[in-house]
Amino acid sequence: MSDLLKGKNIVVMGVANQRSIAWGITKSLHNAGANLIFTNRQERSYKKLVKLLEENGIEAKLIVTCDVASDESIQSAFSEIKDKVGVIHGLVHSVAFANKEELKGEYADTSRDGFLLAQEISAYSLVAVTKAAKELMTEGGSIVTQTYLGAERVIKNYNVMGVAKASLEASVRYLAEDVGKYGIRVNAVSAGPIRTLSAKGVSGFNEKTSVITEKAPLRRNIDQDQVGDATLFFMSELSRGITGEVLHVDSGYHIIG
Ligand code: NDP
Ligand code: KAL
């Protein structure tokens, strides 16, 4: 337990279950003394979250519903946060979605609707929640999103999500410029493959983890706690000079040719 985030109010979006990257982040932020506010889309995630918080002795300051596909939902979530919590200092965006059928085969087969859906949920959502959150970050703040190497390179099966993550990473840079003048920083963590609910059932996940143990400098896969600690760094004053950055938490895999 440290005091790095003592007294800081941080919104965490995207805990679906105990395997979620956002849950690893929750543990790191809680251990650093942060007050946490959560948003979920599905009722199932809400129930899992309540149980996880109870099992781990973590008290949420607030839990609100937020479907990032809807401007009304985002507005009502952040207005409830404003009413019940007031000032916030951090926002963790750990949300993505694409149609399963478009996460295999050729990218060239991506449908118009599938392309737009992946962009809307996985990239535009960061823009929309940054706009809402910045109104509550009157003491400055830090926004952190989650990305993947498929934004930078062609990675088999990642397809439409790779293009959405490229858009997300570019958004990190444009948003960083917009909100920097208010003392708000925007960064991304680019995590190596982690077995989560999203990763389950998508083609080719297993081969991605075995390549890491073979080729990454550290010869091992990463876990949710490592992403949690990197996100804690971005949330804290330790990273006060950094914005618009994409930090790889991937056992060094991205440096290998
Ligand atoms: P999870 O399945 O645990 O989390 C995905 C989350 O996205 C869920 O909580 C889900 O909420 C949420 N979500 C989907 N659609 C919406 C929506 N319309 N509105 C609000 N929330 C929504 O998977 P991960 O923890 O793996 O994913 C978190 C982030 O990490 C994603 O951005 C992913 O791309 C990224 N990432 C994951 C890697 C991995 O290997 N797992 C590697 C690199 C990056 P609900 O369940 O309530 O629908
Ligand atoms: C190259 C990799 C292998 C997997 C390929 C694509 C992974 C895309 C991630 C994307 C978020 C998955 C989905 O959108 C799944 C969705 O269609 C079905 N799942 C659900 O609806 C569940 C129930 C909910 C909780 O999921 C969501 N998202 O709401 C990439 C691997 C190696 C790394 C990964 C998994 C990266 C990443 O971005 O997640």
What is the mean pLDDT of the segment spanning 248-255?
98
Lookup: tokens for 144: 């952190």
* Run of H or E residues at 40: strand 35-40
Residue 252 CB-density burial (10 A; 0-12 exposed, 13-18 middle, 19+ buried): middle
Digit-coded pLDDT (tens) for 146-203 = 999 999 999 999 999 999 999 999 999 999 999 999 999 999 999 999 999 999 988 8
Q: Is 118 in the pocket of ligand 2 (CB under 6 A)?
A: no
Which DSSP string do the residues of 134-193 spell out, in sequence order? HTT-BTBEEEEEEE-GGGTS--TTTHHHHHHHHHHHHHHHHHHHHHHTTTEEEEEEEEPP
Q: What is the pLDDT of residue 246?
A: 99
Q: What is the pLDDT of residue 202?
A: 87
Atom 3 in ligand 2: residue holding the nearest Cα: 205
* Run of H or E residues at 62: strand 62-65
What is the mean pLDDT of the segment spanning 246-252?
99
Residue 148 appears among annotated catalytic residues: yes
Q: What is the pLDDT of residue 137?
A: 98
* Run of H or E residues at 212: helix 205-215
Contacts of 242 (CB under 8 A, 6+ apart): 185, 187, 234
**Relative to the CA of 150, which ligand 2 atom is closest?**
1
Domain spans, the chain: 9-96+128-151+171-255
Atom 21 in ligand 1: residue holding the nearest Cα: 41
- Give the CATH H-level superfamily of domain 9-96+128-151+171-255: NAD(P)-binding Rossmann-like Domain (3.40.50.720)
Atom 14 in ligand 2: residue holding the nearest Cα: 97
Q: What is the pLDDT of residue 1?
A: 67
What is the mean pLDDT of the segment spanning 22-37?
98
Q: What is the mean pLDDT of the chain?
A: 98
**Relative to the CA of 202, which ligand 2 atom is closest?**
4
**pTM assigned to the model:** 0.99
Distance CA 168, CA 245 (A): 12
Residue pair 147/153 in contact (Cβ under 8 Å)? The answer is no
Distance CA 213, CA 80 (A): 44
Atom 6 in ligand 2: residue holding the nearest Cα: 158
Q: What is the pLDDT of residue 201?
A: 81
Residue 204 has pLDDT above 90, yes or no: no
Residue 201 CB-density burial (10 A; 0-12 exposed, 13-18 middle, 19+ buried): exposed
**Relative to the CA of 165, which ligand 1 atom is closest?**
34
Residue 46 appears among annotated catalytic residues: no
What is the mean pLDDT of the segment spanning 210-228?
98
Measure 155 CA to ligand 2 centroid, in angstroms.
13
Q: Is the reported ipTM for this assembly greater than 0.95?
A: yes
